[in-house]
Amino acid sequence: MRLKPRRVLLLALILFIFYVLYKILAPETSSKHIQVDKYTNKPSLTEARKNVTLKIEQSDVVRELKATYRLDWDHHLNESPWTIAQKWISKEHVHPENTPELGAVLRAMATRKIIAADVGYRGTQLKMTILLEGGQRAVFKPKWFPRDHVIEGPPYAGEDRHNGEIVAFHLGRLFDFRRTPLAVGRIVNLETEIKPVAKQRLLETFFRRGNNTCFYGKCYYCKGEETGLCGSGVHMEGTVVLWLPNTVTLKLHKHPWSRTYRKGVIAQWEKDDNYCHNTVLLKPQFQDGPRLLDIIDTAVFDYIIGNADRHHYETLGDEQSAVMLILDNAKSFGNPHNDERSILAPLYQCCRIRESTWLRLHMFGDGMLSDVLEAVLSADPIAPVISQHHFRAMDRRLSTVVNTVKTCLTKFSVNEVLIKNR
């Protein structure tokens, strides 16, 4: 009899709870304590059998996690996908933990007819606002770079990486944050799908470069044809991000760990190791409620995807209990060879993290994160979504996060570091 997805996750979490408690409370075992065969100077047969058993158990967990998070793209919907997506939004999350309708909603985002297109004014980066059949607004973020392109320079350098939004959405599912908007890959025909329904102000920014259709839109960095982007012929790959309904009230806040974005000028948190305790924790909004823990969750999330551009954040309302959304994730996956440790400042300066987040991190350790995530992303219309270099970087960064928490546990008690949800 097949276990239900929620029961599988619960069982996996229980197993990892015992593992985490053991790792926290038991002394570290050095390599010299491993049982070694005196003749071969290699791990004994008993030790080898233990390793094999552990790998088999891990393989079983990976298999169940892949089954749990795999989406049914062909699921039949009994009502509008946009109505379903709107119903999902609560005070804590943008979508539920797991539901068969999720794949079908993403399919609708990737295939529904585009009935209107306009410029994307908000922000600094090139994008379009599109209206999908049925009246759903969405954002189309176009592809700038091939999958293996490496962004050099500051950690926030370069144009948006459209595929980062897709990975962020699914990573939010795996970590049970569920505060990232729905995102899916889509290839559009600029000549037949966009231009015939484009508003005049968007249409005016279209031009040709050789045999390719191009546009430069309207945004802070959109200065004309020299800043424009071209498709491959008439086709352009991009990501469709679902727009939150107007009924949702968002409140914009300045991020306490934001960068100055000025060369040679560093922020206070970059030069004060006690910034969290001396500054952040003195502010009322961070003394109670979920805000600080949300920021730390997001710092872990951003570090793993390589996003160093979280200068503002938005909450679902302005109440003290309002949760932080994880929006605008396209500055991620720029350089898989660079791990920007400063992104983790909220974690290593405050030395606290949700216990549930800590357990999730352990559950996806030892390469399980990339294994499960790659399987989930393989169904996206523009797969492969990211390169193998980025998958390996995510596993490496996850290990760094775990070690950072362990360092905190050597300085403070378990109850001070691992915080119950609130």
Which residue(s) pair with 128 in the sheet?
119, 140
Burial of 397 (0-12, 13-18, 19+ CB in 10 A): buried
Nearest CA to 234 among 196, 186, 187, 190?
190
Other beta carbons within 10 Å of 237: 17
CA 380 to chain centre: 15
Q: Are the C-beta atoms of residues 342 and 332 closer than 8 Å to each other?
A: no
The pairing of strands 183-189 and 136-142 is unpaired
Indicate the SS3 state at residue 129: strand
309 is catalytic: yes
Q: Are the C-beta atoms of residues 105 and 84 closer than 8 Å to each other?
A: yes
Annotated active-site residue in 294, 309, 328, 395: 309
The DSSP code for 115 is E
Nearest CA to 183 among 127, 109, 133, 72?
109
Q: Order the strands of the 235-242 sheet from edge to edge.
A: 114-119, 128-132, 136-142, 235-242, 183-189
Beta strands in 190-320 (DSSP E): 206-209, 212-215, 229-230, 235-242, 250-254, 312-316
Beta strands in 291-405 (DSSP E): 312-316, 353-354
Nearest CA to 366 among 338, 399, 414, 391?
399
Q: Using the CB atoms, write b or e for 307-333: b if 16+ within 10 Å.
A: bbbbeebbbbeeeeebbbbbbbbbbbb
Beta strands in 327-403 (DSSP E): 353-354
Does residue 284 have a cis peptide bond before it, meaning omega lies within 30 degrees of 0? Answer: no
Question: Mind telling me the catalytic residues?
Answer: 309
